[in-house]
Structures are given as structure tokens and as C-alpha cells.
Structure 1
Amino acid sequence: MVWVPLLLVACVVAGVGCARLCRATLAAVLPPRAEAPEGSAPELTVGEAAYLAGGPLRVTDLTLVSMHRERRLLLARTGWATVLDAGACAADPLERAVIGALGPQGQAPIPAVRPRVAAADSVHLLAERLVARGLAVSAAGRREVSAGLRAVRAGFLLSLALGTVSALLGPAAERAAVLAGFALPLLASGLCLLIGRTEVYPYTRWASPAGQRLLAGLSPADPLTALATRGPAVLEPELRAALRGGG
């Protein structure tokens, strides 16, 4: 019966991992939010919709494409961005971030520009406003969900390893009991991991349930709204190639 303590260890580790993921998920999808004034309805700008649907890089892509279509920026199919009218961008903080990321030459490869803009203060402020309104998951919430998934994965692998060792090294007469015992932590952590990867993580990546409901109510008829909610796949081939860096 040497395998019994190993089974207890596997059950404890799997249970702790599942509990941590559940707690992180509840904290992410039910964030504290201030009450909105009576009679007011939350609305999303296109930039806010882009963040909720795809995070900072989606906001960056939206800003680049918007500037390109308004002739303030040229996105070349070769993967380079060039400033055409810097003065017209002074009023918008996201467009100012793009101009700053392009540097003093006013030209840079788009793959180098995208992460710089995504890390800009204007994008962080946009995210903070959405978190404060209860529409976005905070960075701490996303980290906790990811940590919970790692803990569940560790519990599953540990249960598998301990179960295999116990079945191979234990008496043959006890093998059926060993397999039945370790099936419990394996099943629990495996199901939790599957649900977490397919149902929890994709829907706590950026938008909270309240933010997801607002996203679902947006019409993709406007090209920029379609880009914000569905990503660069809706763009024409030239712009998709430009955002990929010409590849």
C-alpha cells in the first residue's frame, strides 16, 4: 500500500490547482465595478472595442489602419510605415504614440512599430479605463488565470507520473486499485484543464463578461469596427501583408 500516500499527494496537488483556477476565474469575470449613473448605458469606442477583442496589438493595428486610410500614414506592402502628415495626429494620443514609435526619421518597419505602440502609455490608460468600468480583465486577473492553468497542468502531470510509478512498481494484485485510485485526480485535473483552456482562458483574455456582451452588440458593417472585433483577417490583402511585415 505504498501507493496510497502518493495518491494523497496527487489528490492534494490536483485539488489545489483546480481550486486556484476556479478562484482566479471568478475574480477575473466578476471584477468590482463602480455603479453607472442612473439612465446611462455604457458605450464602446472603436479603440475600446479593439482592446476588448484583441488587446493592445489590436488597438495598434486599428490605429495604423485608421491613419493609413485618412492619409496620415502610409502602410507599404513591403512592411514599412511612413508618416505623411504628423501635424494632423497631435490631438489623438494613440496616433501620437504611433508617430513617436516611428522615430525622428518618420519611417520604420511595422513589426518594430507594433510592440512599441502596444506598450505606450495611451494604450495602458485605455486599458485602465475599461478595467475601471468593469469591461476588461485586469493584468493581475489575467496573470492569475494563467497561473491557475499552470497549477492544474502541474497537478495533471504529477498525478500521471505518480500513477505510472505506482502501477509499475507496486504488486500486480493491487494494479487495478492503483489505476482506479489515480483516475480521480487525473480526471478532475484533466477536465479542469480542458475547460480552462477552451472555455475560461479565451474569454478572460481581455474582455469581462460585461465587455463581451457589448462586443456582441456591435455591428461589423463599419470596416474599422470589423477590424476592431474580428482582426486583420477582414482587411484587403495589401494591408494584411503590410501588418505582417511584408511577409
Structure 2
Amino acid sequence: MIWVPLLLVAFVVAGVGCVRVCRASLAAARPHGTAEGTDVGETDAEGTGELTVCEAAYLAGGPFRVTDLTLVSMHRARRLLLAHTGWATVVDATAAGDELERAVLGAIGPGGQSPIPAVRPVVAAADSVRLLAEGLVARGLAVSEEARREMAAGVRTVRAGFLLTLVLGTVAVLLVPGDERAPVIAGFAMPLVGAGLCLLIGGIEVYPYTRWASPAGQRLLSGLSSADPRTDPLTALATRGPSVLEPELRAALRP
């Protein structure tokens, strides 16, 4: 019965990972409450119903989607030129803009020109994007950064447990005579199946470990995902990403 201690180790490791993923998944789905003075059903002037275009962009693609939306919005307003070569050039720095647009101009710098791959991470980390995210988390529409980290860590733990169980099961099978291997295989099959199911759940929840919208936020996004790029290009970009843009802009925003 030398394989029994190995089986117990496999159960403990797989169990810890599964519990961690389940707790993180429940925490991510739990609303964080509603910020004071915020009406979740409020309609903004940009035609996105219960979400602003920037909020929809964050829920659909996170800070980098918000950055792309701001860049394209400024490009269409002729305050910025996005070249297909991947460079952003300031056309009009005098027009009053919101905090996101000022973050873009600050990221480009006083020279008035910068590679877009250098601009995107700076804007994505700006205070304006962080405040946008915090507001969505407070309204229960976005998953907090802490919850995403916990989910990703849980998935890594389950993956390690799955691989360890596989190794321990193989060792245990080799340690026992051939006619005694059936119960060994059956025993190790249980933690393997459990860890595999948790990996599947974790993959659905966080693939690729950056699920931004909570279930409530996903329901709001579902009403915007059919936006026509020809009539509402910014909403289409916010919800579906740069793939809906014309080829020149797609090339400009290519990572």
C-alpha cells in the first residue's frame, strides 16, 4: 500500500487548488455594491444605454481597449493622426479634452510624436483609467484586480496539482504489481478529474486570465455587442476591438 500516501498528497494538492479557484470565481461574481450617487441605469449622451463608451471598452477589453478607443476617437476628431506605420502624431493639442485624452497627449510627450506601442501602456496605467475601473468595480460591473489575480493564481495552483497528480499516479502504478494496478488507477482518477474540471472552470472564467466584466457587466455588454461599425464605430470598437476598424487603423493599433 505504498501508493496510498502518494494518493493522499495528490488529493490534498488538487483539493487546495480547486477550493482556491471556486472561491475566486464566487468572489469575482459577487457584486461589490453601488457607488454613492451612481445610477447604474443612467443613460449617457453617447448612445450606449447604461454604459458610457469608455466603460464598455473597459469591460470588454480592459485598460488597453480604453486606450485604443481614446486614440481612435482623437484620430476621428482630427486631434491626432494614427499612421499605419504605428506612430501617433499630435495634430491639435489645444482642444479641450477629458482626462483620458490628456493622458494620451502626456504619453506622446512634448515632441508631438511617439510610437503607439509606447503610448498604450502609459495611458493604460494612467489615473483616469484606474478611476474608471474603480467606479465600475464599485457598481458591481467589473471584476477587481485582486479577484483577477486570485483567480489566475488559483488556476496555476490547479494546473500544478493536476501535473503533480499525474506524476504521482504514474509512479504509484509502477510501484505495484500488475494485478493490483486497477484500484491505484481508480484512486488517482478522482483527483485528476476534479483538477481537470476546475481547470475547465478556471479557463472559462478568466481565459486568458483577464476577465474584466462581472456577470452584471457582461449582461450590459451583450446589448452593445451588435453595434454596427458603419453607424456607431466607437461602440463597435469598444465592444469588439480593433478588428472592426478600417485596415489603416488596424495596422496602426497592431501590438
CA distance in 2, matches of 1:122, 1:200: 27
> For residues 134 and 6 of structure 1, do their structure 2 counterparts lie closer, same or farther at Cα, with a shift above 3 Å needed?
same
> For residues 233 and 46 of structure 1, do their structure 2 counterparts lie closer, same or farther at Cα, with a shift above 3 Å needed?
same
CA distance in 1, matches of 2:62, 2:38: 29
Residue 188 (structure 2) pairs with residue 178 (structure 1): no
Which stretch has the larger CA shift, 217-226 or 56-65? Answer: 217-226
Residue 248 (structure 2) pairs with residue 238 (structure 1): yes
Q: What root-mean-square deviation, in Å, do the aligned CA atoms of Structure 1 and Structure 2 show?
A: 1.8
Q: CA deviation at 1:28?
A: 0.6
Number of equivalent positions: 243
Q: CA deviation at 1:155?
A: 1.2
Which stretch has the larger CA shift, 168-177 or 35-44? Answer: 35-44
Q: Which residue of 2 aligns with 1:127?
A: 133
Gaps of at least 5 residues in structure 2 are 43-49
Q: Which has the higher helix share?
A: 1
Residue 114 of structure 2 aligns to a residue in which SS? strand
Q: How does 1:207-218 map onto structure 2 within 5 Å?
A: 207-218=213-224
1:200 counterpart letter in structure 2: E
Residue 87 of structure 1 aligns to a residue in which SS? coil
CA distance in 2, matches of 1:117, 1:47: 13
Residue 25 of structure 2 aligns to a residue in which SS? helix
TM-score by length of 2: 0.91
TM-score by length of 1: 0.94
> For residues 39 and 118 of structure 1, do their structure 2 counterparts lie closer, same or farther at Cα, with a shift above 3 Å needed?
closer
Query: Percent of pairs identical after alignment?
Result: 74
2:246 counterpart letter in structure 1: E
Query: Do 2:35 and 2:138's aligned partners in 1 also have CA atoms closer than 8 Å?
Result: no
CA distance in 2, matches of 1:87, 1:182: 67
State the Cα deviation string for residues 146-183 of structure 1 (Å, max 9, x = none): 01111111111111010001111222222111111100
Q: Which residue of 2 aligns with 1:33?
A: 33
CA distance in 2, matches of 1:46, 1:153: 37
> For residues 86 and 135 of structure 1, do their structure 2 counterparts lie closer, same or farther at Cα, with a shift above 3 Å needed?
same
CA distance in 1, matches of 2:109, 2:72: 18
